[in-house]
Amino acid sequence: MDEPPYHLDIEGVEDDTGAAPGNVTLRGRPWIGIRFDCCETYARIYRNTSGTAYQGGCPRCQRQVTLKIGPGGTDSRFFSAS
Ligand SMILES: [Zn+2]
């Protein structure tokens, strides 16, 4: 399969986790739920260690997704990759 990775931009998701950037433990890593349109499945993806994005992959086809964290505010916890 040659599906390109998903790239999404989100805003302010890091603000509602209470975790300071650069001070994230593996155990307490923030995550968001995402729906993969490719396989119509849901998965959790976790924030990377630098706190700049959420990164993960489709649990079925392994298609990668990156959600860049931007400034702003939202309390959304679920997103769609399409
Ligand atoms: Zn998939």
Q: Distance, CA 72 to ligand 1 centroid (Å)?
A: 29
pLDDT at 60: 96
**The pLDDT of residue 23:** 47
pLDDT of residue 16: 45
Q: CA 55 to CA 14: how far, in whole Å?
A: 13
Count how many domains the chain has: 1
Residue 21: give the domain boundaries: 6-81
Compute, in angstroms, the gap from residue 64 CA to the centroid of ligand 1: 9
1 part of a folded domain: no
Q: Report if residue 10 sits inside a domain.
A: yes
Q: Above 90 in pLDDT, residue 64?
A: yes
pTM over 0.85? The answer is no
| Phi-psi region at 22: left, alpha or beta (left = phi > 0; alpha = psi -120 to 50) | left
How confident is the model over 4-56, as pLDDT tens digits? 899 887 765 554 444 445 544 556 778 889 999 999 999 999 888 888 888 99
CA of 27 to the centre of ligand 1 (A): 26
